[in-house]
Structure 1
């Protein structure tokens, strides 16, 4: 395997596959529980790959997925590009802060692109926090008629080498 690019060193605590459960809500839908798998990898370049999948906690039916790249910049900033099969594409910008036992990545959308059939999403905010052996992933969005960023999902994940299949 390639060595981790020096610019990605602050992001190293994210590397690997994380699994756990979460809860979601939004004014336009019923609250829901889900299982999540979030994987970060690298190829020695100044970015991490990211693949996220979630399933209904009770039925196992797929709910959501996305793939993208978390880019590390020389000034310590980060950028995230994400594509979703629902027709939403994000370009996010933010920061990474090292903590005593992990890191915090905070991102806000700089651009949101939509296909002609995608639901309206106008803004996104993401937060990833690694504290020891726990990764908390949260997302806020302004979508489907809601003008303000509203908390949508929060998952608590643990390192795991298995996959959801």
Structure 2
């Protein structure tokens, strides 16, 4: 039993998920979302501050664009986009969840930044030390999966726009 409790699986997955379940039970989903929004905003701000000077130096041409710099850009941009989304979620909830705030250009821009950050992460192989993290073949698989999921979601938008559900996305409808 002691060996099980000391494993990485327990430390990195089981314990955090048990803490989440306990928090959800104690607070309920609505309050849990508020607390997690606050935690994500705080942590994302910390990440953006930590990566700010590196990102600034990359954008100003003071640093080359090696793989490690793509990774740094991906970290900064994706957490910046995440922070925009979480701040917007907090404001949306505080204002009583008005529908006009749900589909705004700010939400779209936050999602765009997260997508850019994900792209930067995918092209940043070999960025960590001498190891190839992630391995090149897994990057290829990641790109294939990303393309397949994107095509499936777009196809579902198209199908849904012609179905009884009545959802008509602007991109396809």
The alignment's TM-score, normalised by the length of structure 1, stands at 0.22
Structure number having the greater helix percentage: 2
Q: Which has the larger radius of gyration?
A: 2
The alignment's TM-score, normalised by the length of structure 2, stands at 0.21
